[in-house]
Amino acid sequence: MKKRLPQIFFILGGLFLLTLFFLPLWRITLLAPQYPNGVDMYIFINKIGGSEPGTLQNINILNHYIGMKPIEPDSIPELKILPIVVLVFSGLALIFAFINNKYLFAFWVVLFIIACMIGLYDFYLWEYDYGHNLSDDAPMKFEGESFQPPLIGNKDIINFIAKSWPHWGGYMAMISIFLTATATYLKFKTNETTE
Amino acid sequence: MRLLRFCNKYSKVITMKRFRKSKKPLLQIAIIACFMAMSCNNQSSNNQASGILSGDVASKVYVGPGEYDEFYAFMSGGFSGQISVYGLPSGRLLKVIPVFSQDAEKGWGYNEETKPMLNTSYGFIPWDDAHHPELSQTNGETDGRWIFINGNNTPRVARIDLSTFETAEIIELPNSAGNHSSPFTTENTEYVVAGTRFSVPIPQKDVAIESYKEEFKGALSFIKVDEEGHMNIAFQVLLPAFDYDLAHSGKGKSHGWTFFTTYNTEKSHTLKEVNASQNDKDFIAAVNWKLAEKYIAEGKGIDMPAEHVVNRYNEKTHTATSTTVPTVKVLKPEDCPGLVYFLPTPKSPHGVDVDPTGEYIIGSGKLSADLTAHSFTNMLSAIENEEFETTIESVPVLKYDKVIGGVVKKPGLGPLHTEFDDKGNAYTTFFISSDVVKWKVGTWEVLDKVPTYYSVGHLMIPGGDSKKPQGKYMVALNKITKDRYLPTGPEMNHSAQLYDISGDKMQLLLDFPTVGEPHYAQAISADRVQPKSKKFYPLEENEHPYRAMGEKDTRIERDGDVVRIYMTSIRSHFAPDNIEGIKVGDKVYVHLTNLEQDFDVPHGLAIQGARTAELLVMPGQTETMFWEPQREGVYAFYCTDFCSALHQEMQGYIRVSPKNSNPELKWSLGEDDEE
């Protein structure tokens, strides 16, 4: 059983990724006195939504005062690419677990972490674009003010506090990394002791 | 706060001590009160409202900023025709719900969608006199689904949906006049009842008023309420030409019966203040509606031509429709033995109230000094043993001493209405002596008495006419205001007082004016209503025939002189906002869909010169303004509800061309500035 442990961990790591199809990766919350419950935007690998059907429209209404372009999930190609990427990683994890090779394990973990970093950088680029690429016709202009939400953490943006933190899906991805990394570590360790 | 309480306590102790010794107690109290006021003032300056001798009354009604009241109170507006919603214990006005009267503030009865709600068999009527709000019940407990209210003048009953706080349905009552004993519910809202105050010829016809005794009848209507809340008149009971004043249905053991008070058993038709006050005893009419259902099933009901309308508001189409119903089913006592009995009750009984157990039926003889409590058990055995005094138009009159359960002796003058708490006590209003008396059900002893300001009519305890009263507060609903508030010229809103009834003695907490007349009220725990309260209407569920589901849907269509503008609103613009091609004399329908999907973001619409009220459109809703342009020119329109930082920019123009011109229909949003 103990011998099988790395393999089981790796399979679990791969399967956990599939939860990203229904758990949001990230949550951005806007807080202001008129929004006592906050406005929550959830970012999934395949969609962007709010706590209610009208939330995205409400966020876009707020953003249009400062000339930010509307968030239109259909025009964000990543939402079509990410599901494939996640499926590939999940599939590879299962295949590698079946082959049960420590170098393939390590390769997967490194590749997945790099993919996550690229994903975060891409998220930052989108945030930068939304926060800086403002319409010249904006009804309200604030000299020198940036409307870019934080990549991670809390930030004051004019009358709002913007909070940006990983959500359930993000934590699942972290658990996936933890499981596969542990599996790789155990794999290397058991190989050393048996050899 | 602790210091303040100490001061209050201390002042009371001193006051009482001096009171006993002094020969001039009042002066002593005044001096000590002044002294205490000065000495305590510094420590309690942030809470002066509580007063020095009043204990912590202020804190009992204080609901802090942003906090919620414990109860919703629904107060009828009386001659305003509406219901106003207050929070208790704070007495804060939360909303006025338009019911029977046009309300320009909300466009109620002005926009095309709600005009049919005020339709009657006489046509459109913009007002009524709304008296008795009645919450729906399940198992004898208020359930927070709906509240009903009667229209007196042109007899109607309305149902308000408590998920939207909007009037959802209004049914007209034929063969009725002065729909006052209405709309009291049965314990599972099987029916709401509607008895006529004025007897009239049935069917209506051109007869001499003097023929009252021969030609007139009184009709009691039983309105069936289905699971969706839809109302239909199941049957009417035709009774002698008395005045049917108030009603309450039995509960528990007396479920299946409804009790109506009567006056004018003299059958007088003129100078009723004298002529209808001659008999020592009038009656409470006990109607066995379960038996009525059986008679209806047996085909005893007569279909009588009696045109009336049923107006229903559809929450999906956001539109009301008015349907005419040609007949009602009528039951006559001569065909239906056992359907109705009369219980003799002293001196023109006004309110009839059934205690939470369903055993006692309290009749308040408004010209009597005593309160009469009939026993339901006694009533049944009197019927069983045929203890009849006489029979009036096929209705047996039961012997008074065989049905009486108890009498509250001389509690006050002019008893009107009784409600109950959850500890076996009853509270009765006395109009003439202007007070509320607390007494014990069963022992009939008077426990306490408090003055009201002034001339109390109804009173209200949350759930006070149900099987499960919540006896924490009592509200006295008064007819006369006089000096209670700053004067506002000859006309003043009527007053209400809130009392704490949780202890042995009733304690006055708060005095507040209400919209119109607080004729009657009902209250319910906020937690039975608040969770169901809608925030907005989902746009995808909008089935209005002239909706625009997005700005791409907006357009203008002409059909002869009828022009339909499909318009949308979203922060902070209308689409379209430049409109041309309208002509003088056109019949223009502006169908405005509010595309917002957020809580509390209505948009309004006003057009210069339109002879109607604004539209006030909730998120996801479509409403229509009818406008007949009279003069050529360019007219501005704008949003009336401050919606956003750019609300003042939310405006547009409509060009009106001459009647005989042939302008092209054009509409746009944000295009022409580029040129």
Predicted confidence (pLDDT) per residue in A75-84, tens digit: 999 999 999 9
What's the burial of B337, exposed, middle or buried (CB within 10 Å: 0-12/13-18/19+)?
Answer: exposed
Rounded to an integer, the average pLDDT of B47-56 is 50
Distance, CA of B64 to CA of B623 (rounded, Å): 36
Check residue B28 and give its pLDDT: 45
Same domain, B203 and B324: yes
How high is the pLDDT of residue A42?
96
Residues B151-162, mean pLDDT to the nearest whole number = 98
CATH number at residue B123: 2.130.10.10
How far is it, in rounded angstroms, from Cα B82 to Cα B517?
10
Shortest CB distance from B597 goes to which of A57, A139, A140? A57
Pick the residue from chain B with its C-alpha nearest to A54: B597
Q: Averaged over B396-412, what is the pLDDT?
A: 96
Instruction: Classify the phi-psi angles of B117: left when phi > 0, otherwise alpha if psi is within -120 to 50, otherwise beta.
Output: alpha
Single-letter amino acid code for the residue at B633: G
Distance (Å, whole) CA B207 – CA B659: 51
Model confidence pLDDT, tens digit, residues B539-554? 999 999 999 999 999 9
Q: Which candidate from B538, B570, B645 shows the least CB-CB separation from A53? A: B538
Residue A109 CA from chain centroid, whole number: 17
Q: Which of B79, B100, B237, B224 is nearest to B155 (CA)?
A: B100
| pLDDT above 90: residue B32 | no
Q: Cβ–Cβ of B536/A57 closer than 8 Å?
A: no
Q: Does B645 touch chain A (CB under 8 A)?
A: yes
pLDDT (average), residues B284-295: 98
Q: How many folded domains does chain B comprise?
A: 3
* CA gap B346, B348 in Å, rounded: 6
Rounded Cα distance, B454 and B427, in Å: 17
Taking an 8 Å cut-off on Cβ atoms, the answer to whether A52 and B597 are in contact is yes
Question: Touching check for B570 and chain A: CB below 8 Å?
Answer: yes
List the single residue in A with minimal CA-CA distance to B597: A54
Shortest distance between the Cα of B67 and any Cα of chain A, in A, equals 13
pLDDT recorded at residue A27: 96
Angle between helices A5-16 and A168-194 (to 10 degrees): 160
Asked if A33 is an interface residue toward chain B (Cβ–Cβ < 8 A), one would say: no
Query: CB within 8 A of B360, min separation 6: which ones?
Result: B354, B373, B374, B375, B376, B405, B406, B441, B442
Window from A48-52, B267-271, B653-657 with minimum mean pLDDT: A48-52
Residues B32 and B179 in one domain: no
**Chain centre to alpha carbon of residue B295:** 32
Q: How far apart are the first and last CA of chain B?
A: 69
Q: In this predicted structure, which of B21-30, B324-333, B363-372 has the lowest mean pLDDT?
A: B21-30
The pLDDT, as a whole number, for residue A85 is 96
Tens digit of each residue's pLDDT (9 = 90 or more) over B85-135:
999 999 999 999 999 999 999 999 999 999 999 999 999 999 999 999 999
Residue A34 pLDDT level (bands cut at 50, 70, 90): confident
Do B329 and B189 sit in the same domain of this protein?
yes
State residue B1's pLDDT score.
Answer: 39
CB pair distance less than 8 Å for B597 and A139 = no
End-to-end CA distance of chain A: 19
Residues B26, B166, single domain; the answer is: no
- Best of A41, A61, A64 to mutate (most B CBs within 10 Å, chain B): A61
**Residue A132 one-letter amino acid:** H
Chosen from A34, A58, A158 to mutate, greatest number of chain B CBs within 10 A: A58
What is d(CA B473, CA B487) in angstroms, rounded to the nearest whole number?
28
Radius of gyration of chain A (CA): 20
Q: Are residues B599 and B660 in the same domain?
A: yes
Q: What percent of chain B has pLDDT over 90?
A: 89
Q: CA distances (Å), B266 to each of B181, B280, B337, B347, B429, in order? A: 19, 11, 24, 12, 26
Chain B residues whose beta carbon lies within 8 Å of the beta carbon of residue A57: 595-598
With CA atoms as reference, report the closest residue to B332 among B360, B296, B356. B296
Return the biggest CA–CA distance within chain B.
97
The residue of chain A with its CA nearest to that of B573 is A61
B44 and B109, same domain (yes or no):
no
Distance CA B328, CA B221 (A): 10
- Cβ B538–A65 below 8 Å, yes or no? no
Given this model, what pLDDT does residue B54 score?
58
Residue B18 near residue B30 (C-beta atoms within 8 A)? no
- Is residue B2 scored above 60 in pLDDT? no
Tokens of A6: 């790395």
Secondary element (H or E) of residue B653: strand B651-657
* Cβ atoms of B61 and B89 closer than 8 Å: yes
Estimate the share of chain A in helix, then strand, then coil, as percent rounded to the nearest 5. Answer: 55, 15, 30
**Residue B477 domain flag:** no
> Which residues in chain A touch residue B649, judged by CB atoms under 8 angstroms apart?
139
Tens-place pLDDT, residues B54-97: 568 999 999 999 999 999 999 999 999 999 999 999 999 999 99
Q: Beta-carbon neighbour count of residue B184 at 10 Å?
A: 25
Is the CB of residue B312 less than 8 Å from the CB of residue B122?
Answer: no
How far apart are alpha carbons B383 and B373 in whole angstroms?
17
Contact (Cβ atoms closer than 8 angstroms) between residue B158 and residue B149: yes
Residue B193 burial by Cβ neighbours in a 10 Å radius (0-12, 13-18, 19+): buried
Q: Which CATH number is B652's domain given?
A: 2.60.40.420
Neighbours of B13 (CB within 10 A): 10
Q: Decide if pLDDT at B477 tops 60.
A: yes
- What digits encode the pLDDT tens for the residues B314-347? 999 999 999 999 999 999 999 999 999 999 999 9
∠ Cα B283 B285 B290 (to 5°)? 165
Please state, in angstroms and rounded to a whole number, the distance separating the CA atoms of residues B109 and B623. Answer: 12
Give the pair of three-digit tokens for residue B269: 């038709």
Same domain for B39 and B102, yes or no, is no
A132-136, B176-180, B190-194, range with the lowest pLDDT: A132-136
* Euclidean distance between CA atoms A112 and A110, whole angstroms: 5
d(CA B580, CA A48): 39
Six-digit token string for B476? 């006295």
Quick one: B131 and B14 in the same domain?
A: no
Within its chain, how far is the Cα of B117 from the centroid?
A: 16
Residue-wise pLDDT tens digits, B572-583: 999 999 999 999
Mean pLDDT of chain B: 92
**Which chain B residues in 580-639 lie under 8 Å from chain A, judged by CB atoms?**
595-598, 619
Q: Other C-beta atoms within 10 Å of B117: how many?
A: 24
Would you place residue B311 in the very low, low, confident or very high pLDDT band (cuts 50, 70, 90)?
A: very high
Distance CA B214, CA B212 (A): 6
Is residue B221 within 8 Å of B193, Cβ to Cβ? yes
- Which residues in chain B have Cβ-Cβ distances shorter than 8 Å to A52? 597
Segment 132-171 of chain A within 8 Å of chain B by CB: 139-140
Same domain for B199 and B109: yes
pLDDT at residue B188 greater than cutoff 90 = yes
Domain assignment present for B509: no
In this prediction, residue B671 has a pLDDT band, given cuts at 50, 70 and 90, of: confident
Tally C-beta pairs within 8 A across A and B.
27
Contact B538 A140 (CB under 8 A): no
What chain B residue is nearest to A139 in terms of C-alpha separation? B646
The answer to whether position B433 is within a domain reads: no
Q: Which two tokens stand for residue B340?
A: 């109705």
The yes-or-no verdict on residue B202 having pLDDT over 50 is: yes
In sequence order, which residues have a C-beta less than 8 Å from that of residue B392 and are 6 or more positions away? B240, B342
Those of residues 81-100 in A touching chain B at CB distance below 8 A are none
Question: For the ranges A148-162, B42-56, B174-188, B510-524, which has the lowest average pLDDT?
Answer: B42-56
* pLDDT band per the 50, 70, 90 thresholds, residue A52: confident
Q: How far is B572 from chain A (nearest CA, A)?
A: 9
- A72 at interface of B, judged by CB pairs closer than 8 A: no
Contact B358, B305 (CB under 8 A): no
Same domain? For B125 and B7 the reply is no
Chain A residues within an 8 Å CB radius of B568: none
Characterise B620 by phi-psi region: left (phi > 0), alpha (psi -120 to 50), beta (else): left
C-alpha separations of B80 from A8, B371, B479 in Å: 74, 31, 14
As a whole number of angstroms, the longest Cα–Cα distance in chain A is 71
Which residues from B are below 8 Å from A54, CB to CB? 536, 539, 596-598, 619
- Assess whether the previous peptide bond of B90 is cis (omega < 30° from 0): no
pLDDT of residue B604: 98
Determine the 3-state secondary structure of A43 from DSSP: strand
What pLDDT sits at residue B393?
97
Residue B90 in domain: no
How sure is the predictor about A1, in pLDDT bands with cuts at 50, 70 and 90?
A: low
Residues 519-558 of B with CB under 8 A from A: 536, 538-540
User: In terms of residues, how long is chain A?
Assistant: 195
> Residue B571: which of A53, A61, A140 has the nearest Cβ?
A61
Mean pLDDT of the B497-503 span: 97
Statement to judge: residues B316 and B192 lie in one domain: yes
Identify the closest residue of chain A to B619 by CA–CA distance.
Answer: A54
Contact A139 B571 (CB under 8 A): no
What pLDDT, on the 0 to 100 scale, is given for residue A3?
A: 80
Per-position b or e across B46-72, b if 16+ CB within 10 A of its CB: eeeebebeebebbebbeeeeeeebbbb
| Residue ranges making up the domain that contains B222 | 98-241+301-335
- Residue A61 with chain B: CB contacts under 8 Å: 570-571, 596, 598, 644
Residue B457 lies in a domain: no
Residues facing A31 on adjacent strands: A161
Cβ distance A58 to B597 less than 8 Å, yes or no, reads yes
Contact B645 A140 (CB under 8 A): yes
Question: Do residues B343 and B284 lie in contact, with contact meaning Cβ atoms separated by under 8 Å?
Answer: yes
- Check if A57 contacts B (Cβ < 8 Å): yes
pLDDT at position B55 is: 66
How many CB atoms within 10 Å of residue A169? 23
User: Which residues does residue B161 pair with via DSSP β-bridges, in sequence order?
Assistant: B146, B166
Asked if residue B331 and residue B217 are part of one domain, the reply reads yes
Nearest CB partner across the interface for A58, out of B539, B598, B646: B598
Predicted local confidence at residue A194, as pLDDT: 56
ipTM of the complex: 0.85
**Closest Cα in chain A to B537:** A54
**CA geometry: angle at A55 spanning A51 and A60, to 5°?**
145
Closest CA to B218 of B182, B257, B170: B182
pLDDT at A58 over 50: yes
Choose among A52, A53, A61: nearest Cβ to B570.
Answer: A61
Residues in chain B: 675
* Amino acid found at B559: D
**Confidence tier at B41 by pLDDT (50, 70, 90):** very low
For chain B, give the percent of residues with pLDDT over 70: 91
